[in-house]
Amino acid sequence: MAKLEYAPAPESRSVVSLRPSYGLFVGGEFVDPVDGGAFKTISPSTEEVLAEVAEAGPADVDRAVAAARRAYGRTWSRLSGRERGKYLFRIARIIQERARELAVLETLDNGKPIKESRDVDVPLVAAHFFYYAGWADKLGHAGFGPDPRPLGVAGQIIPWNFPLLMLAWKVAPALAAGNTVVLKPAETTPLTALLFAEICQQADLPPGVVNILTGAGPTGRALVEHPDVDKVAFTGSTEVGRLIAEAVAGSAKKVTLELGGKAANIVFADAPVDQAVEGIVRGVFFNQGHVCCAGTRLLVQESVADVVLTSLKRRLATLRLGDPLDKNTDIGAINSAVQLERIRALADVGEAEGASRWSAPCTLPDRGYWFPPTVFSGVAQTHRIAREEIFGPVLSVLTFRTPKEAVEKANNTPYGLSAGVWTEKGSRILWMAQHLRAGVVWANTFNHFDPGSPFGGYKESGYGREGGRHGLEAYLDV
Ligand code: NAI
Ligand code: MG
């Protein structure tokens, strides 16, 4: 099918004012790092340097944890839930007011399409703050006793795939429950967290309630190991999740880990094909596949495998890959050179192991990091592309004959974060949901999020739940 030609429709960058360099946000103000370290963050679609950002060392972690401890003891834990809620509502409203600025900055620093940051990420960020603002004065009704207490200081470490949204998932429930936080954004996407720090200032949030430390793995490690941190919350790779679990073992620290996934998206023969194809696309090509709950294993019932695959390829050929700031772009840039290398390496393994590879016909820009939407068919369960998280726009297609076989194949993974089921039959949806070992099971949709609904995994996908009433438990002494 011929691709319609669209005129370029770039979103303006002028709404964002970047500073050449950024300090750390500690005790309510931006400060220089003690050791003076710094690193650059780039736009992955152009490799342009956006800004220089401070690198927090152990002394900075000390300072930030001390600021969070002071704010916890002197103000935040003493405020009534209603007062805390007022600040959270204020933050939520400012996020809405500055939505365009946040979306453009997120797209610049991360490489995701503006239509996603504008229509998905930022609205969900505001929704999370509104949602948990509403809980702040109702904690006694959350099912954890009449007067549940906060934990203290939370050390929070987030990844680069949804920088602001992961910040919201971590900060909003922590603050609502009365904790103070030290948050470390990922090293390739620090800028929206720093803009969020400005929003905290604008909201007059008491100093030290939120502290933002930029840096890479060693900064995260120092935060996790800091003796005055009461709670650790992490989203990222299973590998680092393991290190964190080891680091906190034997301490009184509470920990939640949200790790990888290798979700099955299961299409039965009675599913409406066009709708399922849209769900497959949304399931695995949304955010360049940098999604822990992405539907990376398509399990399609054998009798419709050909028709589904043909429709899918036709649809993928219409996706537009390119400038993430263009409002018509569907597929943006891969977040970093390192991640692109990982995707390339695993895709090559898929080919070497005998699966057949197809990529959507699209021209990749000369600069920046890009990978075309790619589908592997003829994939066996033993193939590495069927077992390992690729975290890129790559789909592995397997087939099944019976519901039982679909469940067995879907559950045959070390992960258990999410799954999808496409069928006309309600009773089958319920049966599948009962038998799939996954934290979230979507029916006739995929990658749908709501602040009111808990999210989290089984097995190597981690433990603990974020979102909803369940998400409060991780920040309360229960
Ligand atoms: P990562 O797990 O290294 O990074 C996530 C965060 O952890 C970043 O803020 C990083 O600075 C921090 N970190 C790194 N080492 C640490 C340590 N020892 N202690 C404390 N914090 C530490 O993930 P990375 O290297 O960016 O991606 C590797 C793979 O992980 C991806 O290919 C993907 O498969 C998976 N991943 C999964 C995510 C998810 O949402 N579940 C998010 C990002 C990556
Ligand atoms: Mg960047």
Query: Own/partner pairs for 311-314, CB < 8 Å, 24+ apart?
Result: 311/273, 311/274, 311/277, 312/277, 312/280, 312/281, 312/375, 313/358, 313/360, 313/375, 314/1
Q: Sorting pLDDT into bands at 50, 70 and 90, what band is 36?
A: confident
Task: For the chain, give the percent of residues with pLDDT over 70.
Answer: 99
310-342 pLDDT, tens digit each: 999 999 999 999 999 999 999 999 999 999 999
> How many angstroms separate the alpha carbon of residue 237 from the centre of ligand 1?
4
Supply the pLDDT for residue 463: 84
Q: Is 388 in the pocket of ligand 1 (CB under 6 A)?
A: no
Do the beta carbons of residue 413 and residue 310 sit within 8 Å?
Answer: no
Query: Closest Cα to atom 27, ligand 1: which residue?
Result: 237
Q: Is 416 in the pocket of ligand 1 (CB under 6 A)?
A: no
Q: Is 257 in the pocket of ligand 1 (CB under 6 A)?
A: no
Which among 368, 452, 421 has a CA at the least distance from the CA of 108? 368
Q: Is 288 in the pocket of ligand 1 (CB under 6 A)?
A: no
Whether the per-residue pLDDT at 3 is higher than 70: the answer is no
Whether the per-residue pLDDT at 102 is higher than 60: the answer is yes
Query: Closest Cα to atom 38, ligand 1: which residue?
Result: 236
Structural tokens at position 265? 């998206």
> How many angstroms separate the alpha carbon of residue 219 from the centre of ligand 2?
17
Which among 267, 265, 376 has a CA at the least distance from the CA of 313? 376
Whether the per-residue pLDDT at 5 is higher than 60: the answer is yes
Whether the per-residue pLDDT at 41 is higher than 60: the answer is yes
Torsion of CA 205, 211, 214, 220, to 10 degrees: -150
Torsion of CA 404, 407, 410, 415, to 10 degrees: -140
Whether the per-residue pLDDT at 2 is higher than 70: the answer is no
Q: Which residue has the tokens 């003690």?
A: 34
Strand partners, 258: 235, 462
Q: Is 183 in the pocket of ligand 1 (CB under 6 A)?
A: no
Whether the per-residue pLDDT at 205 is higher than 90: the answer is yes
pLDDT, average across residues 151-159: 98
- Classified as helix, coil or strand, 48 is strand
> How many angstroms separate the alpha carbon of residue 45 from the centre of ligand 2?
9
pLDDT, average across residues 46-68: 98
> How many angstroms separate the alpha carbon of residue 226 from the centre of ligand 2?
27
pLDDT, average across residues 6-24: 96
DSSP 382-429: TSHHHHS---SSEEEEEEESSHHHHHHHHH-SS--SEEEEE-S-HHHH
Q: Is 260 in the pocket of ligand 1 (CB under 6 A)?
A: yes
Domains, the chain, with CATH or none: 13-258+458-477 (3.40.605.10), 264-443 (3.40.309.10)
| CA 4/CA 161 separation, integer angstroms | 29
Whether the per-residue pLDDT at 268 is higher than 90: the answer is yes
HSE-CB for 352 with a 13 A CA cutoff: 7
pLDDT, average across residues 429-445: 97
Supply the pLDDT for residue 400: 98
Do the beta carbons of residue 203 and residue 94 sit within 8 Å?
Answer: yes
> How many angstroms separate the alpha carbon of residue 39 from the centre of ligand 2?
11
Supply the pLDDT for residue 1: 52
208-220 pLDDT, tens digit each: 999 999 999 999 9
Q: The sheet that has 48-54: what strands, in order across it?
A: 21-22, 48-54, 38-43
| CA 347/CA 342 separation, integer angstroms | 9
276-305 pLDDT, tens digit each: 999 999 999 999 999 999 999 999 999 999
From the CA of 342, the nearest ligand is: 1
| Ligand 1 pocket test, candidate residues 237, 262, 413, most atoms within 8 A of CB | 237
Whether the per-residue pLDDT at 173 is higher than 80: the answer is yes
Whether the per-residue pLDDT at 144 is higher than 70: the answer is yes
pLDDT, average across residues 45-49: 98
Q: Is 221 in the pocket of ligand 1 (CB under 6 A)?
A: yes
Pairing of strands 48-54, 38-43: antiparallel
State the Cα angle at 328 between 324 and 331, rounded to 5°. Answer: 50
Q: Which residues surround ligand 2, an ion (CB under 5 A)?
A: 41, 109, 188
Strand partners, 154: 181, 231
The overall average pLDDT reported for the chain is: 97
Question: In this predicted model, which residue has the larger pLDDT, 46 or 462?
Answer: 46
From the CA of 167, the nearest ligand is: 1
pLDDT, average across residues 377-404: 97
Catalytic site residues?
A: 258, 292
> How many angstroms separate the alpha carbon of residue 373 from the centre of ligand 2?
21
| CA 385/CA 272 separation, integer angstroms | 27
DSSP category for residue 327: T
| Ranges of H-type helices in 186-336 | 191-202, 217-225, 238-248, 273-285, 305-316
Whether the per-residue pLDDT at 4 is higher than 90: the answer is no
Amino acid at 101: E
Q: Sorting pLDDT into bands at 50, 70 and 90, what band is 402?
A: very high
Whether the per-residue pLDDT at 35 is higher than 90: the answer is no
